[in-house]
């Protein structure tokens, strides 16, 4: 069988609700790796919050972080890192709209630096994985280079109005996606950036045909990746819209959905 590239979203996909890789899925992925196939992570998380899983699976591939805004290779220093930040002026304009749009908080990340507009112990804890530098304060003053991504936290009732503003004012400059639990968050990255962009960079580096890419996801930030892959697989717990465009639907992240699918696909 041709070498395949298996692309794995983390939260709600590779990880169960306890944020661990289940034994069955891990063993099958390692078995496929031993057979010569490639496995990689494609996530909205920064590298510092995905490194533990990269190392657990002994990966030797590039990794897609921030939904494609940052693509690098942790072990091959000859790999050209791709970092596509947001425009600084656009970011500052968004920060200035915090009171007008009833935004609870904004988190801006520049690679492994985290900036919170308002200090929040819960958010602070949520973004502390990997021990990044975390600062709180006026983001217009604090941030002097284009952020890798921006996260907007708001009450559910305010989300449609924020979407409307982003679409009307910044449609040519940015992409925005929705996070689910534990609280409503809108993620913003540079226009044209998504997981499929990062995977294409990785598959060219690995010299793997697009038809031999298998991708797993569960949320709307996986949409382009699922459509791009030769075989796009939605988890059983995925949103309805993703299941509609996927080639296949497997069991949930708590039921070894990845392991079950790959076991059958590769006839292990």
Active site residues: 9
The Cα–Cα gap between 46 and 51 comes to: 9
| Closest of 133, 96, 129, 100 to residue 115, by C-alpha | 133
Strands 133-136 and 113-116: parallel
In the chain, where does DSSP find H-type helix?
Answer: 23-34, 51-56, 88-96, 121-126, 139-142, 159-170, 195-206, 223-228, 240-245, 257-265
Q: What number of helices (H) and strands (E) belong to the chain?
A: 10, 14
Q: How much of the chain is in helix, strand and coil states, percent to nearest 5?
A: 35, 25, 40
CA distances to 115, 201, 207, 268 from 204, rounded to whole Å, are 34, 5, 5, 27
């Amino acid at each position: 069988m041709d070498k395949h590239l298996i692309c794995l979203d983390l939260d709600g996909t590779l990880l169960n609700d306890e944020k661990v890789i289940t034994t069955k899925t891990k063993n099958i992925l390692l078995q496929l790796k031993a057979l010569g196939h490639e496995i990689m992570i494609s996530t909205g998380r920064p590298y510092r919050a995905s490194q533990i899983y990269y190392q657990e699976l002994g990966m030797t591939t590039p990794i897609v972080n921030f939904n494609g805004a940052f693509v690098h290779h942790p072990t091959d220093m000859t790999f050209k890192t791709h970092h596509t930040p947001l425009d600084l002026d656009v970011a500052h304009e968004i920060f200035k709209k915090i009171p007008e749009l009833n935004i609870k908080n904004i988190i801006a990340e520049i690679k492994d630096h985290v900036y919170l507009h308002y200090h929040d112990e819960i958010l602070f804890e949520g973004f502390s994985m990997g021990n990044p530098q975390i600062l709180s304060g006026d983001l217009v003053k604090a941030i002097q280079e284009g952020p890798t991504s921006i996260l907007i936290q708001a009450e559910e009732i305010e989300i449609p109005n924020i979407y409307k503003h982003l679409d009307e004012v910044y449609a040519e400059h940015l992409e925005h996606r929705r996070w689910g639990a534990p609280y409503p968050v809108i993620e913003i990255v540079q226009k044209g950036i998504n997981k499929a962009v990062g995977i294409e960079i990785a598959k060219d580096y690995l010299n793997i045909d697009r038809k031999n890419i298998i991708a797993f996801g569960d949320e709307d930030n996986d949409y382009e990746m699922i459509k791009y892959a030769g075989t796009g697989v939605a988890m059983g717990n995925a949103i309805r819209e993703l299941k509609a465009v996927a080639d296949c639907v497997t069991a949930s992240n708590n039921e070894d959905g990845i392991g079950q699918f790959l076991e059958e696909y590769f006839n292990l």
